[in-house]
Amino acid sequence: MAHALCERADGCARIRIANGTANTLTTAVIRDLADAFAEAGRDSRGTLLCGGEKFFCNGLDLDWALAQPRAGIREMFLELAGLILAMLESPRPVVGAIRGHAIGGGMAIYLACDYRYAASGRVLIGKPETLLGVPNPYYGDQLLRFVAGDFVASDLIYSGRLVRAEEGRALGLVHETGPGEEIEGAAWERLRVLCALAPDAFAESKRMRLGRFCADLREQLPARIARQVEIWHGDEAQGRLRAAAERLRRRTGAA
């Protein structure tokens, strides 16, 4: 699991996304995260999910994605949906702590956590997919609407704007903010509190909150992902995505 670092303490697991500074997503990264999460679930009472200093996760690796055939993009969407559903359906608590930005698919992973902590300051979260010519993937769209409500979610999805963690807290996306050097420690303490609850009581409470939502996701996923892939490979989306990848290369100084 080269892209997911896992350590254990106090009967809990800490999984850290580890794919360079930006922590972008590919199918291999998503699979490593899913494998780490599944392994942690076998011998840990709960999981803390973290990222890097600058980025928790900067969403999909656009250069990688633009080189993929339709089947590869479809596989990536299915793998990410599987990871998010595994987090939502886990009977054990999952807490997220971000010290850096959580964008696109990274925000979807973050929202799948039961509790969400974020560093104060210039830590941004958002779903800018529409600005890139593609719709927000179905599970990301529905999860954002489930967490924040339709009014907030529609504004963020249609505008593509990124919000600071403090605004995210006001919008119901973030539970707690605090200094970057302390936020993972605070999230770990929350995880310990959740893990001290009666396991069956916690698990059933989580099922009551998310069971119907997850069932609806599973029912709609095949058709929604098929449409997502169709739009992704359209001429307009490909043009916008390639322009976005070029802008990103210029900003980062990549060749």
**DSSP symbols for 203-245:** HHHHHHHHHHHHHHHHHHHHHHHHHHHHHHTSHHHHHHHHHHH
Domains contained in the chain, CATH given = 4-195 (3.90.226.10)
Question: In the sheet that 176-178 helps form, which strands lie side by side, from edge to edge?
Answer: 4-9, 12-17, 47-50, 94-98, 115-119, 176-178
* Confidence category of residue 255, pLDDT binned at 50, 70, 90: very low
pLDDT above 90: percentage of residues in the chain: 94
Residue 50 pLDDT greater than 50, yes or no: yes
Give the residue-averaged pLDDT of 93-111. 98
**DSSP symbols for 163-218:** EEHHHHHHTTS-SEEE-HHHHHHHHHHHHHHHHTS-HHHHHHHHHHHHHHHHHHHH
User: How far is residue 113's CA from residue 29's CA, in Å, rounded to a whole number?
Assistant: 18
**Strand 94-98 with 115-119, pairing:** parallel
Residue 228 pLDDT greater than 80, yes or no: yes
Give the residue-averaged pLDDT of 130-134. 93
- Give per-residue pLDDT as tens, 58-77: 999 999 999 999 999 999 99
- Give per-residue pLDDT as tens, 229-250: 999 999 999 999 999 899 888 8
Residue 20 pLDDT greater than 90, yes or no: yes
Residue 252 pLDDT greater than 70, yes or no: no
- Give per-residue pLDDT as tens, 158-176: 999 999 999 999 999 999 9
Residue 254 pLDDT greater than 70, yes or no: no
Give the residue-averaged pLDDT of 4-13. 94
State the average pLDDT for the chain. Answer: 95
What confidence score (pLDDT) does residue 250 get?
83
Please name the residues in contact with 23: beta carbons below 8 A apart, sequence gap of 6 or more: 17, 29, 51, 52, 55, 56, 57, 58, 100, 106
What confidence score (pLDDT) does residue 253 get?
61
